[in-house]
Structure 1
């Protein structure tokens, strides 16, 4: 049997997983516990998806070509945020968006771009300096809710939420999140969650949202 040759996207998925497996905890410095954190006020785009959006969420879409992400939009929870690029620190831990910019998300640049075949990963803080940050309401998402990523080439990748997973940071599923071998386009959003440990100044869990590409436009 001939040896299987990985696609460029597939090779990036494997490389991304190999790097992050060395990284340890993700998003450790979320800035503070829930006490005293004010939620965002009256997001303009909040609410359930429209009937047409719900129909879109029942279909799968073919993977897109490579293009860098620029903006992430989640109407259900009022998110419209720029996407930066993040990699690994010298100590092997993953970089984080700066706490000084609580509405900034970070795409893990060693992996595929959102819309390509494979798992693309975007990180964001739940709070920062005792104020709600970009992914504060991520826990409110339900299966079928839509996530849009506007890309550098002018296209928009629309994903439908499949499920949410809360995991202890010490048991983070690095291979599943960053290196799962799949032939469709998936988006994983990662933030902090669970109880806040005042002794360490960090949340104990990570919240992971898994979503699948349903429309490429």
Structure 2
């Protein structure tokens, strides 16, 4: 993890796994804006009960490194950079000086290949909105596209968007996915923010490969 100025030392943690295999914890260090990030529905009771994850996922694509993420509903068009684990086995977030960049966890599936691909991004910083500030506005059926280095584009459809308190984050539900299918998760910080503990929750987008 790179050195962070004192005003940006605000951490939000969730356990990271890829295709159901725990890889470590990822930390997003975000500031806060006056209006706060977009808020999805809060998960209540059984977190799996209302996800509606599609069983009609398409045949997975060949593995290829992702280079760009586009979400038409949010007018989001962002470059992707690979992120890995630091010495504490925490997944490194995208660079703090590039808040409009999203990070793909390179230790897991590539978007569109079999397994669960994970993309993380900052929600905001001390200067304002970051790449995933509006993530909570996505709704089921919205498209998410990932362009791959081999020239293909993996198009996903959103199944659900949920807000999970950090102390009740459902690791296996978020990261495992259906066996043999291509799944995508977009993750950022959400919920309430305070100076001592940072954000109280994680916003998670569940999506499946549609074409």
- Residues 96-142 of structure 1 deviation map (CA, whole Å, 9 limit, x = unaligned): 01121011100011111000111100001110223101111111100
SS at match of 1:103: coil
Residues in 2 aligned to 1:207 and 1:60: alpha-carbon distance in whole angstroms: 23
1:213 equivalenced with 2:205 (yes/no): no
Question: CA RMSD for the aligned pairs?
Answer: 2.3
* Alignment correspondent of 1:33: 32
Match of 2:22 among 4, 18, 21: 18
Greater Cα shift, 129-138 or 157-166? 129-138
Match of 1:203 among 194, 199, 205: 199
- Runs of 4+ in structure 1 off by over 4 angstroms are 36-39
- Contact kept in structure 2, 1:28 and 1:203, CA below 8 Å: no
* Alignment correspondent of 1:71: 68
Point out the structure with the larger strand share: 2
Question: How far has the Cα of 1:28 moved from its partner?
Answer: 3.4
Residues in 1 aligned to 2:89 and 2:169: alpha-carbon distance in whole angstroms: 15
Question: How far has the Cα of 1:181 moved from its partner?
Answer: 5.1
Residues in 2 aligned to 1:139 and 1:38: alpha-carbon distance in whole angstroms: 8
What is the TM-score of this pair, normalised by structure 1? 0.76
- Contact kept in structure 1, 2:69 and 2:146, CA below 8 Å: yes
- Contact kept in structure 2, 1:189 and 1:210, CA below 8 Å: yes
Match of 2:93 among 93, 96, 110: 96
* Alignment correspondent of 1:80: 77
Question: How far has the Cα of 1:81 moved from its partner?
Answer: 0.4
Residues in 1 aligned to 2:36 and 2:176: alpha-carbon distance in whole angstroms: 34
* Alignment correspondent of 1:51: none
Point out the structure with the larger helix share: 1
- Residues 64-95 of structure 1 deviation map (CA, whole Å, 9 limit, x = unaligned): 01000000000100110011111111112221
What is the TM-score of this pair, normalised by structure 2? 0.78
Residues in 2 aligned to 1:134 and 1:33: alpha-carbon distance in whole angstroms: 13
- Contact kept in structure 2, 1:37 and 1:131, CA below 8 Å: no
